[in-house]
């Protein structure tokens, strides 16, 4: 009962006033949702690829037609190489390539010219684009070797473009929604930032010696711990719920994950994030610096945990290191749910998250030492 | 002179604190280490990254030979073998069940009469069944599509040239496989190498610099909390001098941090920061100015320190996100929004320094950044006049 009083007091402190509720709960959630939804929109659509065609011959036309036919890219022609470099630097496209003048002649004569490719930062799209360009050019070179002269080459390419031999896909929808890992990653990153604020609230209590007063009341230590824990947990849960409801029902971003299951997984992550924030705060004497340190820890762990790029892009030992950050397991769990696995498929990630939360919260409960109010 | 005393004390205090050392040296280096290693596979070779093998079941019609159109050779080639482990399947139903259980990653069903249809110049299709992993589906689809494209090409050649001539095509295809048709070009104007690592190094530098505004907040606030500002009030020194001294002291430490990040990345990982150290310094100084002003303004205007910190942190993460610091986002609306952020102009400016763009272009970004900085400075000054820095 005492715990509930403490928890309720904490909730009131954070979101009790209109301004507080707006500032700590509503506004951040709306902003996160908007950011993530915009992000998700881009992820699900095609990758924007820029190109410059200096050649204009049969081979380059064929190359571009084939690329256009692929479902993954949206091509945009740019006049000059210089202009394209500027657009890519300004991140107006994910990658770009230049077909040099004489490309067709090069293919025909057997001394092919290379396609020049630019990227600002590697991504799945730029990697697959590189492979596809290589394959298409290689295929054309073989065709040219057989054709001999230009006219026959043209006819052969035309016949090739008909794609009489091709593939059809049977989709059982058992894979996670593409781009969901990044959307989840960013949601997690923002959530971690929000958790920080409730942990620094506890620290403020300690600094102002309110905590010492609570300890002098006829309340047991575990009740205080539980109270603080329940309070920040309730705030975090509300934030998650708002983010999920806003994105799902107002902005209609389809996570492809049942709401309740999604909520449980994110809730588990929230516990770990709380544990992490309080563990860091417990190790650092000065409470305000702790808040700063915490926010600086968010970025490296997010990178490691696959919030910005898939974990499988990283070398082996980094993938192993990723196992130690909660983001990796949360993303994995959300993806499994999205693939239609149901709660049964996420027992392992959830168990790991639970364990992490337990250990970190145990370490983190050391922030509840009322004596340490010291300001360096 | 008094200002210098405050400034010098601030620097000494910061350098002695453990958490500042962590923030200054350990975290940036950790971040850089993660970045450098996480993406090293891609930076080093410039080739596709080594992914886990996909296990693929090929379901072939009963009674037909396996060696059609060099499929076996294709599957046996070292390139394919490194990414795909092919097994032969019994039936479509079995393959579907295996996919659902996650035993295999992808399945290909070759229909009856595929070979005959291809030989007769008729349309022919393989069926792919997608598995549980999006990336593996993608890789497998691309790989087998490459094979089918090859078959398609042979068929097209056979239709145009007649079947006899087209057969040696497969042999020919193998020979030129070694030639690389795609070259990675550098966005750098002078053709110096540029890697995606530089992008992240720049965006993270800016983010760290922005966070340092929280340090000055902490310092200003601790004087109030510890009631030492009250004592300072009895000294022959104006609150403004204390205020400015603290900001300058923290700015110098922050610039030290920038130096650690820049030199650290360039020595440890060979990140090139371009040939204009002066411009780079200008951008760093401006970002630090923005960072300090942002933090101070929010802090002066809000009642609780916790709230102020939360708001500043949220603004920083949001600005970094919008400007594409974590991931470039080619959504028009976000790009428009990002033009109002400190990060956008700083990041684009640094990128152009790295890419050795024309000085006028770099200066344009520095100018825009100074405008943002100027506005923030003005707001900071107004809020100082309004709220003031004194012991209540």
What CA–CA distance (Å, rounded) separates A307 from A301? 9
The C-alpha of B346 sits at a distance from chain A's nearest C-alpha, in angstroms, of: 12
CA angle A90, B369, B30 (to 5 degrees): 70
Residue A287 touches chain B, beta carbons under 8 Å: no
Residue A74 touches chain B, beta carbons under 8 Å: no
Catalogue the E-assigned strands of A70-214: 73-77, 95-99, 115-119, 165-170
The C-alpha of B276 sits at a distance from chain A's nearest C-alpha, in angstroms, of: 18
Q: Retrieve residue B362's tokens.
A: 């770099």
Percent of chain B with pLDDT over 90: 15
Side by side, the strands of the sheet bearing B84-89 are: A165-170, B124-130, B106-109, B54-59, B84-89
Residue A43 touches chain B, beta carbons under 8 Å: no
- Residues A108/A144, Cβ–Cβ less than 8 Å: yes
Structure pTM?
Answer: 0.78
pLDDT confidence of residue B48: 47
pLDDT confidence of residue A45: 61
Run of H or E residues at A49: strand A47-53
On chain A, the residues whose CB falls within 8 A of the CB of B182 are: 97, 114-115, 117, 130, 133-134, 137
Give the CA count within 13 Å in the CB-facing half-sphere of B297: 18
Phi-psi region of B39 (alpha: psi -120 to 50; beta: other; left: phi over 0): alpha
Class level of CATH domain A46-161: alpha beta
Percent of chain A with pLDDT over 90: 11
What CA–CA distance (Å, rounded) separates A263 from A275? 18
Residue A21 touches chain B, beta carbons under 8 Å: no
Residue B124 touches chain A, beta carbons under 8 Å: yes
Q: What is the DSSP string of A219-278?
A: --HHHHHHHHHHHHHHHHHHHHHHHHHIIIIIS-----S-HHHHHHHHHHHHHHHHHHHH
Which of A27, A39, A157, A164 to mutate: most B Cβ within 10 Å?
A: A164
Percent of chain A with pLDDT over 70: 93
Nearest-by-Cβ selection for A164 from B152, B200, B357: B152
From A185, A165, A233, select the one nearest B127 (Cα to Cα).
A165
From B102, B31, B72, B295, select the one nearest B39 (Cα to Cα).
B31
| Three-state SS sequence of chain B | CHHHHHHHHHHHHHHHCHHHHHHHHHHHHHHHHHHHHHCHHHHHHCCCCCCCCEEEEEECCCCCCCCHHHHHHHHHCHHHHHHEEEEEECCHHHHHHHHHHCCCCEEEECCCCHHHHHHCCCCEEEEEEECCCHHHHHHHHHHHHHHHHHHHHHHHHHHHHCHHHHCCHHHHHHHHHHCCCEEECCCCCCCCCCCHHHHHHHHHHHHHHHHCHHHHHHHHHHHHHCCHHHHHHCCCCCHHHHHHHHHHHHHHHHHHHHHHHHHHHHHHHCCCCCCCHHHHHHHHHHHHHHHHHHHHHHHHHCCCHHHHHHHHHHHHHHHHHHCCCCCCCCCHHHHHHHCCCHHHHHHHHHHHHHCCCCHHHHHHHHHHHHHHHHHHHHHHHHHHHHHCCCCC
Run of H or E residues at A47: strand A47-53
Residue A146 touches chain B, beta carbons under 8 Å: yes
pLDDT higher than 90, residue A373: no
What CA–CA distance (Å, rounded) separates A370 from A209? 7
The C-alpha of B169 sits at a distance from chain A's nearest C-alpha, in angstroms, of: 7
Q: B19-54, pLDDT tens digit by residue? A: 777 777 778 778 777 877 776 655 544 444 556 778
Average pLDDT of span B217-241: 83
Average pLDDT of span A245-262: 84
Q: In a 3-state reduction of DSSP, which class is residue A212?
A: helix
Side by side, the strands of the sheet bearing A47-53 are: A73-77, A47-53, A95-99, A115-119, B182-184
Q: In a 3-state reduction of DSSP, which class is residue A60?
A: helix
Where along chain A do its domains lie?
2-42+176-368, 46-161
CA-to-CA separations, B166 to A141, A343, B154, in angstroms, rounded: 14, 54, 6
B-chain residue closest to A336, CA distance: B132
Residue A319 touches chain B, beta carbons under 8 Å: no
Class level of CATH domain B54-178: alpha beta
On chain B, the residues whose CB falls within 8 A of the CB of A156 are: 153, 156-157, 160-161
pLDDT higher than 70, residue A291: no
The C-alpha of B27 sits at a distance from chain A's nearest C-alpha, in angstroms, of: 7
CA angle A83, A89, A95 (to 5 degrees): 85
What CA–CA distance (Å, rounded) separates B271 from B28? 14
pLDDT tier at A267, thresholds 50, 70, 90? very high
Q: What is the ipTM of this complex?
A: 0.74
pLDDT confidence of residue B45: 45
From A312, A309, A279, select the one nearest A293 (Cα to Cα).
A279
Residue B339 touches chain A, beta carbons under 8 Å: no
Cβ–Cβ pairs < 8 A, chains A and B:
328
Query: Distance between alpha carbon A190 and the CA centroid of its chain, in Å?
Result: 10
Which of A87, A201, A296 to mutate: most B Cβ within 10 Å?
A: A296
Q: Which residues pair with A118 in a beta bridge?
A: A96
- List all residues of chain A from 179 to 218 with a beta carbon under 8 Å from chain B: 182, 186, 189-190, 193, 196-197, 200-201, 204, 207
Q: B310-327, pLDDT tens digit by residue? A: 788 888 888 888 888 777
pLDDT higher than 50, residue B358: yes
Percent of chain B with pLDDT over 70: 87
Q: B80-118, pLDDT tens digit by residue? A: 777 788 888 888 888 888 888 878 888 988 888 888 888
Nearest-by-Cβ selection for A142 from B100, B172, B322: B172
Residue A121's φ and ψ, nearest 5 degrees, are: -160, 140
**Where in the sequence of chain B do the CATH 3.40.1710 domains occur?**
54-178
pLDDT confidence of residue A43: 53
By DSSP bridging, strand A115-119 and strand A95-99 are antiparallel
Nearest-by-Cβ selection for A167 from B144, B321, B355: B144
Most confident of A296-305, B61-70, B286-295: B286-295
Which has the minimum average pLDDT: A120-124, A171-175, A303-307, A355-359?
A: A120-124
Which of A28, A41, A66, A142 to mutate: most B Cβ within 10 Å?
A: A142
Looking at every residue in chain A, the average pLDDT score rounds to 82
- List all residues of chain A from 355 to 374 with a beta carbon under 8 Å from chain B: none
Average pLDDT of span B67-82: 75
Residue A25 touches chain B, beta carbons under 8 Å: no
Most confident of A59-68, A83-92, A154-163, B67-76: A59-68
B-chain residue closest to A183, CA distance: B327
pLDDT confidence of residue A352: 94
Q: Retrieve residue A205's tokens.
A: 């209590």
Q: Retrieve residue A170's tokens.
A: 């049977």
Looking at every residue in chain B, the average pLDDT score rounds to 81
What is the CB neighbour count within 10 angstroms for residue A217?
A: 10
The C-alpha of A167 sits at a distance from chain B's nearest C-alpha, in angstroms, of: 5
pLDDT confidence of residue B171: 46
Q: A125-173, pLDDT tens digit by residue? A: 777 788 788 888 888 888 888 877 788 888 888 888 888 888 888 887 7
- Residues B38/A318, Cβ–Cβ less than 8 Å: yes
Residue B220 contacts by C-beta under 8 Å, 6 or more apart in sequence?
A: B243, B246, B296, B299, B389
From A203, A47, A233, select the one nearest A128 (Cα to Cα).
A47
Contact A31 B318 (CB under 8 A): yes
The C-alpha of A367 sits at a distance from chain B's nearest C-alpha, in angstroms, of: 16
Contact A303 B27 (CB under 8 A): no
Dmax of chain B from CA atoms?
Answer: 102
Contact A146 B134 (CB under 8 A): no
């Amino acid at each position: 009962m005492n715990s509930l009083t403490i928890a309720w007091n904490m909730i009131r402190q954070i979101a009790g006033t209109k301004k507080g509720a707006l500032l700590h709960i509503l506004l951040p959630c709306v902003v996160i949702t908007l950011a993530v939804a915009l992000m998700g929109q881009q992820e699900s659509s095609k990758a924007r690829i820029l190109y410059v065609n200096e050649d204009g011959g049969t081979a380059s036309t064929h190359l571009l037609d084939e690329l256009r036919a692929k479902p993954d890219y949206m091509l945009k022609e740019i006049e000059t190489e210089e202009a394209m470099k500027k657009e890519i630097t300004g991140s107006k496209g994910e990658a770009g390539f230049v077909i040099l003048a004489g490309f067709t002649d090069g293919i025909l004569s057997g001394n092919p010219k290379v396609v020049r490719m630019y990227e600002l930062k590697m991504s799945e799209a730029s990697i697959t684009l590189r492979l596809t360009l290589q394959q298409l050019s290689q295929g054309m070179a073989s065709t040219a070797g057989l054709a001999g002269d230009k006219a026959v080459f043209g006819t052969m390419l035309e016949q090739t473009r008909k794609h009489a031999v091709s593939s059809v896909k049977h989709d059982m929808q058992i894979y996670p929604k593409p781009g969901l890992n990044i959307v989840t990653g960013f949601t997690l990153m923002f959530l971690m930032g929000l958790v920080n604020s409730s942990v620094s609230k506890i620290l403020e209590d300690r600094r102002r010696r309110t905590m010492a007063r609570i300890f002098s009341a006829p309340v047991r230590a575990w009740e205080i711990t539980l109270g603080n824990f329940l309070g920040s947990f309730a705030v975090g849960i509300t934030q998650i719920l708002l983010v999920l409801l806003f994105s799902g029902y107002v902005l209609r971003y389809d996570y492809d994950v049942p709401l309740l299951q999604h909520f449980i997984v994110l809730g588990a992550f929230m516990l770990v994030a709380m544990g992490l924030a309080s563990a860091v705060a417990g190790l650092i004497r000065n409470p305000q610096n702790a808040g700063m340190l915490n926010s600086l820890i968010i970025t490296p762990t997010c990178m490691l945990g696959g919030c910005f790029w898939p974990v499988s892009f990283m070398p082996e030992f980094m993938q192993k290191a990723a196992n130690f950050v909660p983001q990796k397991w949360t993303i994995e769990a959300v993806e499994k749910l999205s693939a239609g696995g149901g709660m049964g498929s996420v027992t392992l990630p959830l168990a790991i998250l639970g364990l992490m939360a337990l250990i970190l919260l145990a370490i983190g409960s050391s922030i509840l030492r009322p004596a340490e109010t010291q300001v360096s | 002179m008094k200002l210098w005393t405050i400034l010098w004390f601030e620097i000494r205090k910061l350098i002695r604190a453990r958490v500042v050392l962590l923030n200054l040296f350990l975290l940036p280096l950790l971040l850089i280490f993660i970045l450098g290693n996480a993406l090293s596979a891609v930076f080093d070779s410039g080739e596709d990254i080594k992914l886990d093998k996909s296990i693929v079941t090929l379901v072939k019609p009963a009674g037909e030979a396996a060696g059609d159109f060099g499929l076996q050779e294709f599957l046996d080639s070292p390139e394919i073998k490194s990414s795909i482990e092919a097994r032969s399947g019994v039936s479509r139903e079995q393959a579907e069940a295996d996919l659902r259980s996650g035993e295999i990653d992808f399945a290909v069903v070759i229909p009856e009469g595929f070979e005959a249809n291809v030989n007769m110049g008729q349309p022919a299709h393989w069926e792919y069944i997608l598995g549980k992993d999006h990336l593996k589906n993608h890789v497998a689809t691309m790989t087998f599509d490459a094979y089918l494209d090859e078959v398609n090409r042979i068929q097209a050649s056979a239709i145009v040239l007649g079947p006899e001539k087209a057969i040696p095509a497969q042999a020919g295809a193998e020979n030129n496989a070694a030639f690389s048709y795609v070259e990675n070009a550098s966005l750098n104007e002078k053709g110096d190498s540029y890697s995606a690592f530089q992008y992240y190094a720049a965006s993270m530098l800016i983010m760290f610099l922005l966070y340092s505004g929280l340090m000055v907040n902490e310092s200003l606030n601790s004087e109030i909390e510890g009631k030492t500002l009250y004592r300072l009030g009895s000294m022959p020194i104006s609150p403004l001098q204390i205020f400015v001294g603290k900001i300058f002291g923290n700015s110098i430490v922050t610039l030290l941090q920038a130096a650690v990040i820049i030199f650290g990345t360039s020595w440890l990982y060979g990140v090139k920061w371009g040939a204009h150290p002066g411009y780079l310094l200008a951008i760093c100084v401006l970002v630090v100015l923005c960072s300090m002003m942002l933090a101070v303004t929010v802090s002066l205007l809000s009642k609780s320190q916790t709230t102020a910190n939360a708001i500043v942190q949220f603004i920083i993460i949001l600005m970094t996100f919008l400007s594409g610091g974590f991931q470039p986002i080619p959504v028009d609306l976000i790009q428009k929004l990002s033009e109002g952020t400190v990060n956008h102009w700083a990041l684009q400016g640094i990128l152009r320094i790295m890419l050795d763009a024309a000085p006028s272009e770099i200066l344009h970004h520095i100018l825009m950044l100074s405008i943002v900085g100027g506005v923030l400075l003005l707001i900071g000054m107004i809020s100082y006049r309004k709220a003031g820095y004194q012991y209540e």
